[in-house]
Amino acid sequence: MSLQIRLHVNGNAVTADVSPDTLLVTFLREHQHLTGTHVGCDTASCGACTVLVDGIAVKSCNVLLAQVQGCQITTIEGITPADGSLHPMQAAFKACHGLQCGFCTPGMIMSAIDLVTHHEHASEAEIRAGLQGNLCRCTGYHNIVRAVMQAAPIMRGTQS
């Protein structure tokens, strides 16, 4: 059985014929060659595969492509402005050194964007709790939290 799926990936309309068991992450990485979305644990624990579906963070290793028929998917490749500059969350991760090996970073950034978008004035404790679904095995959590706190006012446009 093959399914025809239509959806938008980073603003582009995409049509695909896939087997029903195709995971969203497999489609993004292997069919769309968007390898910024990482597969860490493949058990919905680590959050490295986090992408936005209609603006909401999900673990793409735990979602079938068929379930997001017609949706808007945003991956780490889709958040940078057209001029090639960094998204404020990326810039803050860079400025705060919110990464070590970098493997968890795309998922952390997508998760953090969702968190700040839906919870503009999150406290440090709320940011820590909000990032529970993303694991950093380098254990560099302090700088990640600092980066999110630095990016939040920039994202809500109160500080440039």
Partner 1 sequence: MPTLSYHRPSSIAEVARLARDDPDAKLLAGGQSIIPSLKLGLLAPSALIDLGGLPELRGVRLEGRSLRIGAMTSHAEVANSPEVRKHVPALAHLAAGIGDRQVRNRGTIGGSLANSDPAADYPAAVLGLGAEIRTDRRAIPADSFFKGLFETALDPDEILTAVEFPLPERAAYVKFPQPASRFALVGVFVSLTGKSVRVAVTGAGPCAFRVAALEQALAKRFAPESLHDITMPADTLNADLHGSAEYRAHLIPVLTRRAVTQALA
Which residues in the 45-84 window bind partner 1 by CB under 8 A? 45, 47, 50, 56-59, 62-64, 66-67, 69
> Least distance to partner 1 from the beta carbon of 100, Å?
21
**3-state SS string for 72-128:** EEECHHHCCCCCCCCCHHHHHHHHCCCCCCCCCHHHHHHHHHHHHHHCCCCCHHHHH
Nearer Cβ to partner 1 (35/117): 117
> Is residue 100 within 8 Å of residue 106, measured between CB atoms?
no
DSSP letter at 67 equals G
Applying CB under 8 A, among 21, 30, 120, 124 the residue interacting with partner 1 is: 21
d(CA 1, CA 68): 18
Nearer Cβ to partner 1 (67/159): 67
Burial of 86 (0-12, 13-18, 19+ CB in 10 A): middle
d(CA 28, CA 25): 5
> Least distance to partner 1 from the beta carbon of 141, Å?
14
Is residue 20 involved in binding partner 1 (CB under 8 A)? yes
Which residues in the 78-137 window bind partner 1 by CB under 8 A? 111, 114-115, 130, 132-134
> Least distance to partner 1 from the beta carbon of 31, Å?
16
- Tell me which residues touch partner 1 (CB under 8 A): 1, 3, 19-21, 23, 42-45, 47, 50, 56-59, 62-64, 66-67, 69, 111, 114-115, 130, 132-134
